Amino acid sequence: MSKNELLEHNVHPFKYHDDIEKALEEIEKLLKSNYKVSKRSVALLLLQDDEEITELVRSRENSFPEIQEVINRTRKKFSEPLHFVITMQRQKKVDEIVSQVVKAGDRSRSSIGSWLDRITVQPVTGIPILLLVLYFGLYKFVGEFGAGTLVDFIEGNIFENYINPWVNSAVQAYIPNRAVQELLAMEYGIITLGIRYAVAIILPIVGTFFLMFSVIEDSGYLPRLALLVDRVFKSMGLNGRAVIPMTLGFGCDTMATLVSRTLETRRERVIATLLLALAIPCSAQLGVILGLLSGRPAALAIWATFVVLVFLLVGYLAAQVLPGERPVFYMEIPPLRLPRLGNIIEKTVSRMQWYFLEIVPIFIITSVLIWIGRMTGIFDALIRATEPLMQALGLPPETAQAFLFGFFRRDYGAAGLYDLQKSGILNGAQMLVASVTLTLFVPCIAQFTVMLKERGVKTTLAIVAFVFPFAFLAGYILNLILKLAGVVL
């Protein structure tokens, strides 16, 4: 249908349900201030509980209590939340218009696409597909290839055989001051520890994860995953839309915490932030742990099961404790398609640039702080103070160092476990307990900073105050179970 033909139809302005239209008229009359959009648009956003508009109107209008009364009265007339009712009425009108102006072509060629659409969202077939994606995407590609093959080559061959020995020799030859030597090189130097962790251990793991994530994202699979897990997420006070920040959290929890602002209610955002801080390991941490435990399939299975159970249990309890309505989920589902190479490269490079610009300075700062701590004796004192905790978890004293690293970044702590495993200090059961505890550990500095900005001081401190003791309690319980059951890994 041409533009002129559309104009000839003289389409009438869209009208909502009579009760909603009546509420819009009442609210428009109560709005006295000037806004950048029409008063009808402001009224619609108020009915949909838009937080920014609600706060703006609250600050400008003396009649806000009357406006709120109109909104509450209108809510009682519908069984579903108003934002859902309004969206569904819009969608119905869109479908009517599309049916009038769009001619459907031969759909036989899309039968395979329709079949894939169905099997990816039905639990019977969708869950096995999800497990295959996790197995080949996370375990094989990120865990074995990224954290195994690439890390072994870059860290084991390039850094250990060439870069670190050359840096140590050069620093000792040209810098006479011992303190400065230890700042730049040796065991905890900026180059030999900070840069090595960032480039040789973290970079290949994060790179493979973001590459895998970009492929999944560009294929259109993520919205289908959201539909698949919606019922489970509803039991935790969330809905399928939360799968986006949760999945992104496997790349970077800091980025995922920012993305959680897209969730509709404050309750959902708080629960999502709690779960991201507690039970979602970032790609670098996940990759290192997969690499550490991949040689022990039983340990890897126990780690995954334990963390998933913690995720579900804490999410369920949080939904019971935090008041709020049952979330409603609706999302537009794009067609499945073959990922485009250009899109994959662009997304991966963009995320890698963002991530690398964030972590390299933090790794360098961490190396400097460790150096200051060693020079002043604070670092060694903290290690000694943490040793009783390690003993309670059944871990050797050397593990305290990795957990102190984890205060700065959890992936930094995981890289510390990598060094301990290479040295043969940890056995299988100890590696499992350390991996679980570090996975559930407090958020890194970057994530903590974003949490303060997004959720406020009280909520952030409450989350950290819960996560820190919970992580060690979980590690203690797991160690106790392994001992009582006589499990040898």
Residues 469 and 424 reside in one and the same domain? yes
Model confidence band, residue 424 (pLDDT cutoffs 50, 70, 90) = confident
CATH of the domain at 47: 1.10.287.1770
Residue 43 sits in the same domain as residue 141? no
Domain assignment of residue 49, yes or no: yes
**Is residue 188 located within the same domain as residue 231?**
yes
Average pLDDT over residues 82-95: 85
Together in a domain, 269 and 378? no
Domain that holds residue 395: 360-485
pLDDT, position 27: 92
**Most confident listed range (248-252, 357-361, 390-394):** 390-394
Task: List, in order, residues 6 or more apart from 68 with CB less than 8 Å away.
Answer: none
Residue 109's pLDDT band, with cuts at 50, 70 and 90, is very low
The HSE-up count of residue 292 (CA atoms within 13 Å, CB side) is 33
In a shared domain, residues 344 and 412: no
Measured CA to CA, the distance from residue 92 to residue 276 in angstroms comes to 36
Determine the Cα–Cα distance for residues 417 and 401; give it in Å rounded to an integer: 9
Separation in Å, CA 476 to CA 99, 389, 432, 483, 488: 61, 9, 12, 11, 17
Whether residue 119 is contained in a domain is answered as no
pLDDT at 110: 55
Residues 81 and 152 in one domain: no
Segment 428-484, tens digit of pLDDT: 899 999 999 999 987 877 788 889 888 999 999 999 999 999 999 999 999 999 999
Q: Residue 104: its pLDDT value, please?
A: 63
Q: Are residues 367 and 351 in the same domain?
A: no
Q: What is the per-residue pLDDT across 115-155, written as a single tens digit (0 to 9) for each? A: 888 888 888 999 999 999 988 988 889 888 988 889 889 98
130 and 214 co-located in one domain? yes
pLDDT at 341 exceeding the cut of 80: yes
Task: Read off φ and ψ for residue 171, nearest 5 degrees.
Answer: -65, -45
pLDDT classification of 206: cutoffs 50, 70, 90: confident
Mean pLDDT of 258-263: 85
Distance CA 286, CA 57 (A): 45
User: Residues 320-339: pLDDT tens digits?
Assistant: 998 877 767 777 788 888 89
Whether residues 204 and 82 share a domain: the answer is no
Could you tell me the CA-to-CA distances from 356 to 162, 198, 443 in Å, in that order? 23, 8, 18
Judge if 345 and 368 occupy the same domain: no
Summarised one tens digit per residue, pLDDT across range 2-12 is 555 555 555 55
- C-alpha span between 479 and 435 (Å, rounded): 12
The count of structural domains within the chain is: 3
From first CA to last CA, the distance across the chain in angstroms is 69
